[in-house]
Structure 1
Amino acid sequence: MNADPAALPQLSTVLAAASMRADHWRQLNAYARAWAAAGTDSAERRGACVEALADLRPLEQCWAYPGERLLGALAAALADNDAAQFARLARKLSAAILSGDFRRDEQAWNADDDGDRTLLDALPPELLGAPDKPYFEVLIVTPNEPALWQRARDEMRAMRRVDDQFHYAVTHAGSFEDAALAAMVNADVQAVVIVDGFRFTSLLDIPDLKQFLARNLGSDDEPSTAGALSTSLARALKHFRPELDLYLLTDRSPERLAGSDEAAPLRRVFHHVEEPMEVHLALLDGIADRYETPYFDNLKKYALRPIGTFHALPIARGKSIFGSNWIRDMGHFYGTNILFAESSATTGGLDSLLEPTGTIKRAQTAAARAFGAKRAYFGTNGTSTSNKIVVQAVCKPGDIVIVDRNCHKSHHYGFVLSGAQPYYVEAFPLTQYSMYGAVPLRTIKQALLDCQAGGKLDRVKVIDMTNCTFDGHMYNPQRVMEECLAIKPDLIFLWDEAWFGFARFSPLHRRRTGLGAAAALTERYRSKAYRTEYEAWKAQRGKVEPGDPAQLDEHLLPDPDKVRIRVYQTNSTHKSMSAFRQGSMMLVWDEDFHEVEGPFEEAFFAHTSTSPNLQLIASLDLARRQMELEGYGLTLKMTDLALRLRRTINGHPLISKYFHVATPEDMIPAEFRASGLRDYGPPNASWVETLQAWDDDEFALDPTRLTVICGAAGFDGTQFKGLLAERFDIQINKTSRNSILVQTNINNTHSDAALLIKALADLSREIEARLAQEGANGRQVFADRVRALMTDVPDLPNFSQFHDAFREAPDGASNEGHMRPAFFMAYEEANCEFVRLHSDDVDRRLAEGPQMVSANFVIPYPPGFPIMVPGQVITADTIAFMRKLDVKEIHGYHAAQGIKLIKPDALAGLRAGSLQ
């Protein structure tokens, strides 16, 4: 029965226990139906039920539902050989778990279907069936014997009041290990009550429990004292699930403990004999803090008020819509609320995004808490604008920014606006897919050392990288920041995490985020252990001269007395969370923000509309609420769904002939995968090895971003994207020459996954049938098409250099340049000329000169990175790449005119030092 390595109770997958649990309940229900249909005399089918229930029982204590009472009734039916009763209960419990009805319907907690209210008699009628009250679960970690746990659950249940905003159920754990396990696998747990005196070791029979906990908590060492066990558990849970509300009930002096560092992870400390109702109220109050959406709550109230509008927004209140003969259908489509909740006023609690003092300020404070930042700012024009705000805030003319050449165009425009000089560094190429990966740490360090050798290190202000990339390449930000700070301890890091905002709420992804690294390094550099480590490393290595290349391959450590943690993260909240399009956030962890606050405010004013969309702001508020309360469960489900999609596509005997989801081995060169990880999960690697790779490898691949290679099916990315949309109603954003990107997110369901699989299967069958019908000639045509897409691919061009007119030290190793003056030179028509891409003039000038210098940005979609920037010398590899492009959309290039260049005579005599 347990041949499947993913079967419970073994924890052999990465935090997918909740979905495995649902699958197991489905299986139990199927076995129960089969037993009932065969009759009680079928020993084989009864045996299947016995084994399946035995598999379920060890982990079921992690969830409040179905609880020991219902599980006991299920077990009793099995013991009594009552197949019909066992099947009825298995169906009832399985259905409630899969549908979530136990959260809304009290009858789901009752073993009988005939109206027996044994469990419900303790509750007043008005509390039964509270579908509008959000449900959560409370984990109580206690030294009490399990025999007393049900009584405690019933007592907590009896404290429900009509006025309670939420309702909850209780589950128990009797040890450190069991509590940690429950918090990890049960996403419904939102609060943990820790009662001093529990043991460390689990009594559950789960073979790999200790390894599971050790790899996710970082340690399996038992604290030396009973008191330390409680606070150690609190720290471990807060590290793994920072959103949890933690409470401690202790006989130790609560006053002394509450004021100590030990209590930092705790929301509140109670004396052990405190009135239970106070604990109940504290639990609800903690959830209320996270549930509160200051801006959205007030917007709802505003929409109900009878307001006369004499401001510049006729659409407000909807009178111009519903009273119209011609656009009344707009009101019918959008409804009344969106119109009643519109205004251009900043009074009445609506607050001002440009100078928030009320509900927006409170909403941003809540966002900072939820995302682990020191400050949060809302953006209502997408992360394109957020990036420009941050770049302009932290950079001034002459500052050098070491930046991925393939970053989003908003960064490049930010450099134009700020006058900062980009030092472009190259990501590793994935030529076979016509895309780039991410920038190796060695390349970033080389840029810093080149600036150091050239006497320019003081001007290097920012390291600007995209994490994760569009295609899922994730940096190891903690390692990147540590080694760069060892060279220059006050560097600012801008992590563009537009596609990665959800990562904060996934313990798997969080380790690869900029803010996660900021928190970890702040704690690390303040510790005595790090100071000792640093002094030993410094003594061993001796003195190293500035710019010494030996530093490239050495793990450098920064001086704890000099290092400053300065991190800015931008995220497109709308891309991975439940926010309206263009909803974005700027998240700040900057120990020197006082130096930047003024410029940041000015940049924010410069780029933010004085008429921001109120619904966008409200949706950002709501997206934060959702992620803080259920983001943990949602991100685990989306990751599990993505992993299932990967396995299904790559393991399907027919689909895999024509379509393939790129693996970490495909997408990350071996030199950046020290672990040797080829793909996620068995049989390629155990999950212990997989998580170790995520911790240690220079780059990892986000499993929720699936690069589906379609070239082997004869489709280019653009063609395949259109086909999926037109025939199968599947929408895709990004393509490359021979691939599409499938993004799983918190919105996706198993039905969505099935739709994609069905489409790929149908297309694969059609290809098979067509090739069989067309014969040898048709197969040759198909093979030629595949070869053109998969083999005869153009080389990817690297950034060449800025023209000498835009470089202060043309002979120096560092490659920064003045892009701003080159950009504005193109505003004067007399400074510019055009050359046709396929003309002899281009080839002649490549061979004989004068150099061709780009006057603007040229960005083909796909692949979506700038192959030319203002002031860049155009080289043969760039021209070759452009000539092989078969995409229709190239921003900054018009085939009828040609490539826009700065004339050589306009460049003659220019020197970078004189440029403004």
Structure 2
Amino acid sequence: MASTLEDARSIDHFFSAPSGRTDRWRDLHAIARFWAKGAQPKQAVGAALDELGAMEEFHAFPGGELIAALRERLKNEDANGFLALAKRISLAIITGNYKHDSKEWQAVDLSLAEPVDVLPATLGEGAVHRPYFEMLTVTPAPAGRWPSMAAEFRRLRRAEDTFVYEAILVGSLEDAICAAVLNPDIAAVAIYEGFALRSAHDAPVLRSVLAAQQPLLDKVDEADLALRLAAGLKAIRPELDIYLLSDRRVEKLAGDPRAAMIRRVMYQIEEPLELHLSVLEGIKARFETPFFDNLKLYAQRPIATFHALPIARGKSVFRSPWIRDMGQFYGINLFLAESSATTGGLDSLLEPTGNIKRSQEMAARAFGAEHVFFVTNGTSTSNKMVLQALIAPGDIVILDRNCHKSHHYGLVLSGAQPFYVEAFPMVEFSMYGAVPLRTIKKALLDLEAEGRLDRVKMVDLTNCTFDGHIYNTRRVMEECLAIKPDLIFLWDEAWFGFARWSPFLRPRTAMGAAADIEAWLRDPASVVQYERQRKELGGKPSIDKLLDTRLVPDPRAVRLRVYQTNSTHKSMSAIRQGSMVLVKDVDFNKVEAQFHEAVFTHASTSPNQQLIASLDVARRQMELEGYGLVMNAIEVALDIRREVAIHPLISKYFRIVGADGMVPKEYRSSGFVDFLAPDTRWDDQLRSMREDEFCLDPTRMTLVCGTAGFDGTSFKGLLAAQYNIQVNKTSRNSVLLQSNINNTRSDVALLISVLLKISNEIEARLQRGGEAEQKAFAARVHSLMNEVPDLPDFSHFHDAFRGDAGETTPEGDIRSAFFAAYAEKQCEYLRIDSPDCDRRIDKGPALISASFVIPYPPGFPILVPGQVVTHETITFMRKLDVKEIHGYEKAKGLKLLKPDALISKKSHVTGNGRKKSQAA
């Protein structure tokens, strides 16, 4: 049955395009099998073949020859022949065999086939497999000539080529856009001028894809169609190499500023071999991994080591009768590639001048940054590097109180004053969301009202949050820059690095938003837009007026300074602790020296070679196949959401919280409810991504387990111990599921089967136990889902640690409070179950935290050094049923600063840390 337009626009239908394609081929195979048995009519087979439709034209395999062969066998009623060929095509698509086996492309029976040079698999005897990709070719040539054009590209292949590709030919801008969106194997695009604008197809799924690209299709100048297409393709998939072939004056065209995104402009009637070689060279430029390539060569050399790393070369391991098993487990190359040297083909991570420097430059290109720094001890260290490099004692940082502890410790080290802003609470799940923009703006405006705006150096936020809340990063930066045009932004995107390779998520990344703002600043219309708003606001608008207005910055005053930290190991194929710092800072030349000092301070002088190599390789993988991998991760997540929601028994005890449950309505101006809500289309999600203050990362799934009688910690343990399923974050009544580029549909099947088994066990237990068991279960669920503690907001810093803070603003000197606790005689302990705890909160002297107190879950500091302890915090701690609370010793209690120590501290606290920053 043909898909309707609404079906085609459903979110899961779109993101399942790759696996949906394999499903349709499997369906064709199944129907052909019934036809061969006489259980299905020929017409049903024809309808299933038609269902493959126009989308198959955007893939090189199976190609026109095999499709024609299928139709011929259908016409001749050769049921067994049709079945055999459909089965072979289906299997080749599922396994990817067609990418390296030339015989798969032939219509003849494989048992009779002679090898032909269609897709040679190797470079020669004993050579390795050549990576395969597809090249989209946009041409004005009539469709009848396309097979011969594809054959011409095939004949250009040479034995010495490192890669092999097949050409996909389309004749319009619309078809080119659809192909780039739907086919993740496309890695290069050749555009021949003169092609059409509109597609000849009217397939619903293609219309839905194009609906999301409508701005690209509006007001198109036919004379600039090729450049418009190139820009559109780059906006969707910036990693693509684009080649423009023209019969006009190519010299003039190459000089057009709009052609900057094109890798090469060529005269289209020249030798096609030049295009072929250029395409392969472009792929090679992304395939190259300078450090990893050199590390492999280094491991092959016979080297004697006289440095302090006995494990290098592996002799101490493989010659030992006691630890040889470690060598057998990890393999010889791990040890051959170890060294403490920075010469002989290697490089220094602290001061790279060779292949590490080149690897970092390639990563900057891939991630859309100006600079990238590799970090081998995690994003915790990356955050501290950025804070130390850019922030000095006395500076004020607008900081999400619920961010990762590394940010708080970074401020302790730098001596800056945190101005804590609160995220919206999600009390039902004992977690926080993200910080509303209105809250951030009010912090800046309050500081401006007190004459302290010059002290504010940075806004520091987590994007996306652990639970999947994504900021409208561009809007946040633009409105903050409208208040203070030289603000620095640090976006902790530890969990969001993969988003660069999704055209839907990319605009919400720090680098994606910075690129959009950069383009807006260059547009003369930006000044007009700013001046119009300035006139509308008048001379001295009130704070309320500014809070209610979507502010426009003055493009002539803005200094765009954006930093993004990225846990590459959390969402890409890097070894654990592999991280990157991404920089797009117009003033980086002024802070570069101190940034390097911060690197020297925090980076190990013995960085792990394998970690550096894995960062290099992770970048390569994402540039060459990241688009398809991320699309698959989203599809996996949507599959899980759908299967949990529709299963009659699983949905009785478990549910995945929708966007409406994770993001309050006031932050969803688009009206978006959830990914798989009835009548929701995937372009609704795109509108949410464009417009809403917060949207939800589809790969993050909050699975409620409290309705099954499990708290998050025990359910996490059950999944790991009994079912070999690992999850990370938990809350009082939920666990967080994350899909990533590693997951497969088999993983989905395992998860669903386990949830079903647990649900069946609950059902059986309730039936066996009768009314008593059912009441106990209901009470347990009620406790987990309804008797949840209120989440404590940040109270305030004690006056002893306020220094010269403003009258109405809450910033404080966290560094002095932190180090005050180093003198044990200045500290005391108090158990939270002690009667003295409540009495002192009510009557004094005040309880002042001497340390960070961080329960897991939820994993954010409920107390920081120098903070006044309140009833809300103590009540929350008393209701916590978690085993792990960092900074709290159950036997001794809270570590507090003594009142007399606070009095002495107050007398000299202003001496250190109140100097105006000259650093950034």
Classify the secondary structure of the residue corresponding to 2:836: helix
User: Structure 1 pair 220/835, CA: closer, same or farther in 2 (3 Å)?
Assistant: same
Higher deviation after alignment, 3-12 or 457-466: 3-12
Higher deviation after alignment, 54-63 or 759-768: 54-63
Classify the secondary structure of the residue corresponding to 1:264: helix
User: Structure 1 pair 120/10, CA: closer, same or farther in 2 (3 Å)?
Assistant: farther
1:65 maps to 2:61: yes
The aligned residue for residue 492 of structure 1 is 488
Question: How many residue pairs were aligned?
Answer: 910
The aligned residue for residue 660 of structure 1 is 655
Structure 2, unaligned stretches of length 5 or more?
914-920
CA distance in 2, matches of 1:776, 1:243: 61
The aligned residue for residue 450 of structure 1 is 446
CA distance in 2, matches of 1:17, 1:504: 20
1:163 maps to 2:160: yes
Higher deviation after alignment, 216-225 or 819-828: 216-225
Higher deviation after alignment, 592-601 or 819-828: 592-601
Deviation of 1:829 after TM superposition, in Å, equals 0.8
Q: 1:308 aligns with which of 284, 304, 307?
A: 304
Letter in 1 for 2:20: M
Give the conservation status (yes or no) of the 8 Å contact 2:849–2:868: yes
The aligned residue for residue 2 of structure 2 is 2
CA distance in 2, matches of 1:356, 1:821: 36
The aligned residue for residue 536 of structure 2 is 540
1:559 maps to 2:557: no
The aligned residue for residue 808 of structure 1 is 803
1:704 maps to 2:699: yes
User: Structure 1 pair 274/116, CA: closer, same or farther in 2 (3 Å)?
Assistant: farther
The aligned residue for residue 917 of structure 2 is none
CA distance in 2, matches of 1:246, 1:612: 37
CA distance in 2, matches of 1:513, 1:848: 48
The aligned residue for residue 21 of structure 1 is 21
Deviation of 1:85 after TM superposition, in Å, equals 1.2
Higher deviation after alignment, 173-182 or 689-698: 689-698
- 1:257-268 equivalences in 2 (<5 Å): 257-268=253-264
The aligned residue for residue 643 of structure 2 is 648
The aligned residue for residue 588 of structure 2 is 593
The aligned residue for residue 204 of structure 2 is 207
CA distance in 2, matches of 1:10, 1:495: 32
- 1:118-197 equivalences in 2 (<5 Å): 120=116, 132-197=129-194
CA distance in 2, matches of 1:768, 1:619: 46
Classify the secondary structure of the residue corresponding to 1:190: strand
Deviation of 1:539 after TM superposition, in Å, equals 1.9
Letter in 2 for 1:882: M
Deviation of 1:115 after TM superposition, in Å, equals 5.2
CA distance in 1, matches of 2:239, 2:41: 44
- 1:336-485 equivalences in 2 (<5 Å): 336-485=332-481
CA distance in 1, matches of 2:407, 2:492: 9
Q: 1:723 aligns with which of 718, 721, 739?
A: 718
Q: 1:907 aligns with which of 902, 908, 913?
A: 902
CA distance in 2, matches of 1:790, 1:484: 38
CA distance in 1, matches of 2:120, 2:412: 66
The aligned residue for residue 918 of structure 2 is none
User: Structure 1 pair 134/217, CA: closer, same or farther in 2 (3 Å)?
Assistant: farther
1:256 maps to 2:252: yes
Q: 2:42 aligns with which of 40, 46, 61?
A: 46
TM-score normalised over the length of structure 2 = 0.97
CA distance in 2, matches of 1:636, 1:6: 20
Give CA deviations for 1:706-734 in whole Å, capped at 9, x if unaligned. Answer: 11000011000010000001110001111
User: Structure 1 pair 352/555, CA: closer, same or farther in 2 (3 Å)?
Assistant: same
Give the conservation status (yes or no) of the 8 Å contact 1:9–1:55: no
Give CA deviations for 1:460-516 in whole Å, capped at 9, x if unaligned. Answer: 111000000001011010111111110001111100000000000111211211111
1:91 maps to 2:87: yes
Q: 1:628 aligns with which of 618, 623, 630?
A: 623
**Alpha carbon RMSD of aligned pairs, Å?**
1.8
1:604 maps to 2:599: yes
The aligned residue for residue 849 of structure 1 is 844
CA distance in 1, matches of 2:656, 2:846: 42
Classify the secondary structure of the residue corresponding to 1:596: helix
- 1:760-839 equivalences in 2 (<5 Å): 760-809=755-804, 812-839=807-834
User: Structure 1 pair 123/796, CA: closer, same or farther in 2 (3 Å)?
Assistant: closer
Classify the secondary structure of the residue corresponding to 1:479: helix
Letter in 2 for 1:35: W
CA distance in 2, matches of 1:573, 1:455: 40
Give CA deviations for 1:579-599 in whole Å, capped at 9, x if unaligned. Answer: 000000000011111121111
Letter in 2 for 1:134: P
The aligned residue for residue 231 of structure 1 is 227
Classify the secondary structure of the residue corresponding to 2:212: helix
Higher deviation after alignment, 251-260 or 861-870: 251-260
1:32 maps to 2:29: no
Deviation of 1:208 after TM superposition, in Å, equals 5.5
Give CA deviations for 1:828-857 in whole Å, capped at 9, x if unaligned. Answer: 011111111100110110110111110000
Give the conservation status (yes or no) of the 8 Å contact 2:130–2:162: yes
CA distance in 1, matches of 2:445, 2:93: 57
User: Structure 1 pair 9/214, CA: closer, same or farther in 2 (3 Å)?
Assistant: closer
Letter in 1 for 2:834: S
CA distance in 1, matches of 2:911, 2:11: 65
CA distance in 1, matches of 2:434, 2:783: 26
Give CA deviations for 1:229-256 in whole Å, capped at 9, x if unaligned. Answer: 0000000001110000000000111111
The aligned residue for residue 872 of structure 1 is 867
Letter in 1 for 2:539: K
CA distance in 2, matches of 1:125, 1:713: 52
User: Structure 1 pair 915/204, CA: closer, same or farther in 2 (3 Å)?
Assistant: same
CA distance in 2, matches of 1:9, 1:156: 35
CA distance in 2, matches of 1:123, 1:875: 71
User: Structure 1 pair 118/145, CA: closer, same or farther in 2 (3 Å)?
Assistant: farther
CA distance in 2, matches of 1:665, 1:620: 36
Structure showing greater relative contact order (alpha-carbon pairs closer than 8 Å, 6 or more residues apart): 2
Give the conservation status (yes or no) of the 8 Å contact 1:724–1:731: yes
Letter in 2 for 1:202: S
Classify the secondary structure of the residue corresponding to 1:61: helix
Deviation of 1:120 after TM superposition, in Å, equals 2.4
CA distance in 2, matches of 1:583, 1:216: 35
CA distance in 2, matches of 1:818, 1:381: 27
CA distance in 1, matches of 2:762, 2:718: 14
Classify the secondary structure of the residue corresponding to 1:799: coil
Give the conservation status (yes or no) of the 8 Å contact 1:634–1:746: yes
Letter in 2 for 1:212: V
State, as a whole percentage, how many aligned pairs show the same letter.
57
Give CA deviations for 1:627-671 in whole Å, capped at 9, x if unaligned. Answer: 000000000011011001001102211001111111101111111
CA distance in 2, matches of 1:576, 1:91: 35
Give the conservation status (yes or no) of the 8 Å contact 1:153–1:170: yes
Classify the secondary structure of the residue corresponding to 1:357: coil
Letter in 2 for 1:477: T
- 1:683-694 equivalences in 2 (<5 Å): 683-694=678-689
Higher deviation after alignment, 113-122 or 802-811: 113-122
CA distance in 2, matches of 1:411, 1:643: 32
